[in-house]
Copies of this chain bind each other. A is one copy, B any other.
């Protein structure tokens, strides 16, 4: 498997620029040999022009053709074999087992979107039939469905080099919707991007997709913002920091034609441990929570960064148990040196704000391997409420226990939080009365609420919501995981009194796609 270090501009590889960079293997503390070339203005313009040209063709492909394209991408990714796993592991510092699992998820979600295209109900087809004799005015025949927005810019994420990057959820859902995609490769894993881009390009050609349906480019910061500003781009998918997410969000809204930015940015994912759960399940929760905080070196958007309890004998006993588990965790290599540095700053900030160290991994971190040392802190609710430093996400294997005096204080802390991707409660018999207001508050704060579990691990399915109120995402009505993600890249259009032969198949009277449609208020597959 030869790695092509060029930009993928449509079906061509191109490296006309003179600005090159290498990827860095954090666990080995060394640069990998290949030189990747930042796209020139001309290459950038070509990628845009090809996407624009591809859109009218791509949007007219049948859903079955698009499904075959997505299936083929998954197959081509699998065909990359160990070369992809090894490269991705080297560039991300993530172990082979994790990357292998992430590849499975990536291919699984491509195939899930292919299935969605075949099912067709996602088109939200709605038909209100004509009533030519209605008084005082006749009623027209009106049929609506969802259609693609146009070319989408996708920004690769550092923490999911496969599942949220080149062929990740944003790309899969945008392509499923009928939108060409331009991926801005993440600078941490260009080799992974190159391999996956070659798989997508191959799949596109094999399934007869138009050139420009997919490009991937290496961009500097200025061009990264210009991608959002380009009038051809009609929507943006992003997973990363709040700072960069908001830069893209603001650029998109300042355009002459504002466009939606789906940025998944920041969360501390509160976990509330109720009194009876602490009393009856403390060993189980201590062990599993320690595992959730440190899983993947804590580099998940859903990492539980905040644990809330009402102070009691049980909470003291729980923290002691947790500390006993936590010292046995081990430092791990982070995704890149900047993230490792940011983690150290985050830990410093917690210390500086007066948080008490509850426990840390027994072994110190090895700076040469960009390691992070798992660290757990505690503070009081009143301190938490009076110092914004405690509410900042510390990206990595850290968590903060917040001890509340009573239920009122617990509610105050929960109410003080910004929007979250997830919120979790652990409860047991006897907790119900105290639990109800907690569930009510966290349901308002988060996109996903979890009972008796842990927020890490995001199932790719129809019902998943990986989103939430600002700043966890820039658009609370969206999810970036699961089939609902396709809704980010479409809009409804209504056809009034159209003759059947001019209607899209989804809306034709004979229902040739055999999809579920809302006909005069009833969901049915009948002709209409």
Contacts and interface: CB of A to CB of B under 8 A. Distances in A.
A496 interface: yes
A484 B476 contact: no
Contacts of A258: 249, 470, 474
Given A127-B463, A435-B502, A523-B523, A447 B497 contact: no
Interface stretch (A199-207, A328-336, A382-390, A452-460): A452-460
A463 B149 CA distance: 19
A485 to B, nearest CB: 11
A462 interface: yes
Interface in A127-170: 127-128, 136-137, 139-140, 142-144, 147, 149-150
A411 to B, nearest CB: 12
A445 to B, nearest CB: 10
B497 A451 contact: yes
Interface stretch (A318-326, A338-346, A487-495): A487-495
A448 B137 contact: no
Contact of A448 (B436, B463, B487, B494): B494
Contact of A139 (B448, B459, B477): B459
Nearest to A492: B465
A81 interface: no
Nearest to A436: B502
Band of interface residues on A: 35 or more
A507 to B, nearest CB: 9
Contacts of A3: none
A440 interface: yes
Contact of A463 (B144, B446, B447, B490): B144
A244 interface: no
A391 to B, nearest CB: 13
A474 B463 CA distance: 28
Given A121-B523, A137-B457, A459-B139, A493 B474 contact: no
Contacts of A237: none
A127 B477 CA distance: 18
Contacts of A443: 147, 493
A451 B502 contact: yes
Contacts of A457: 137
A502 B495 CA distance: 42
B491 A451 contact: no
Interface string A193-232: 0000000000000000000000000000000000000000
B476 A149 contact: yes
B496 A453 contact: yes
A390 to B, nearest CB: 18
Contact of A447 (B435, B474, B492, B501): B492
Contacts of A142: 459, 461, 463-464
A25 to B, nearest CB: 27
A433 interface: no
Given A142-B459, A484-B492, A492-B477, A452 B497 contact: yes
A56 interface: yes
A467 interface: yes
23 contacts: A101-B136, A121-B518, A144-B463, A144-B464, A149-B476, A249-B258, A257-B470, A257-B471, A258-B474, A448-B493, A450-B497, A451-B495, A451-B496, A451-B502, A452-B497, A453-B496, A453-B497, A462-B518, A463-B518, A465-B494, A476-B491, A477-B490, A523-B523
Given A101-B136, A258-B470, A446-B493, 16 more contacts: A115-B521, A121-B518, A128-B462, A137-B457, A149-B476, A257-B419, A260-B475, A260-B477, A435-B502, A449-B493, A449-B494, A449-B495, A452-B497, A469-B491, A476-B491, A523-B523
Interface of A: 56, 60, 101, 115, 119, 121, 126-128, 136-137, 139-140, 142-144, 147, 149-150, 249-250, 253, 257-258, 260, 418-419, 432, 435-436, 439-440, 443-444, 446-453, 457, 459, 461-465, 467, 469-471, 474-477, 479, 484, 487, 490-499, 501-502, 516, 518, 521, 523
6 shortest A-B CB distances, which residue pairs? A465-B494, A126-B463, A448-B494, A450-B496, A144-B463, A128-B461
